């Protein structure tokens, strides 16, 4: 097994890029801000940050990144999407703006802004068995929800009412919430484990 540090990209078209870069650096990864296909080709895994999914979609096409990201997913590159990043990794979305596209890869249907506007943001503690104790303190900001998951998609966390807010399928991981803003590193550690397994 390679002993070099994982080389992780953060898609840097829009959103909370710096927060993810800081967490990944703290966990020992070499971090690159990715805006172009050549940068994507040089990394071991990609984080797609929270932000505005429709804006990231448009910019990914403007920068020639949509097809390279889709190709990387198809080739098995591990990716982790938070909030807007989860929307972009979903195969299907509801409430998208006209013409909105995703990268796909996660066989789920995701609802954008499922909890309402910015003023409806909230925090809660989640039981995430794959991470063990303690509970994950999760921050939801204009967050999406996973409405439907295909067989083979693992539910990692749900709200008390059963609505799904974290999923994993193969090397793809998605959360509705923002671990990077609360000092919660365990989802990023889970992502880095998948990167090391693929490498």
**Catalytic residue set:** 83, 178, 180
d(CA 42, CA 57): 21
Looking only at the bridges linking them, the beta strands covering 154-158 and 79-82 are unpaired
Q: What angle do CA 65, 67, 72 make, to 5 degrees?
A: 90
Residue 198, SS3? Answer: helix
Residue found under tokens 């929307």: 87
Helix (H) or strand (E) holding 91: strand 90-94
Neighbouring C-beta atoms of residue 113, cutoff 10 Å: 15
């Amino acid at each position: 097994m390679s002993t070099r540090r994982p080389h992780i990209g953060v898609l840097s078209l829009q959103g909370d890029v710096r927060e993810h870069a800081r967490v990944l650096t703290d966990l020992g990864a070499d971090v690159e801000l990715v805006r172009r296909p050549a940068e994507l080709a040089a990394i071991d895994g990609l984080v797609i940050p929270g932000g505005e999914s429709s804006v990231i979609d448009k910019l990914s096409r403007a920068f020639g990144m949509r097809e390279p990201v889709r190709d990387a997913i198809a080739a098995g590159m591990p990716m982790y999407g938070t909030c807007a990043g989860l929307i972009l990794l979903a195969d299907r979305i509801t409430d998208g703006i006209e013409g909105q596209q995703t990268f796909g890869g996660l066989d789920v249907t995701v609802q954008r802004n499922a909890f309402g506007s910015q003023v409806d943001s909230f925090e809660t503690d989640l039981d995430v068995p794959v991470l063990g104790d303690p509970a994950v303190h999760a921050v939801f900001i204009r967050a999406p929800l996973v409405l439907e998951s295909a067989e083979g998609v693992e539910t990692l966390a749900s709200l008390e009412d059963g609505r799904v807010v974290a999923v994993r399928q193969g090397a793809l991981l998605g959360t509705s919430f923002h671990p990077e803003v609360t000092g919660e590193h365990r989802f990023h550690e889970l992502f880095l484990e998948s990167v090391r397994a693929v490498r």
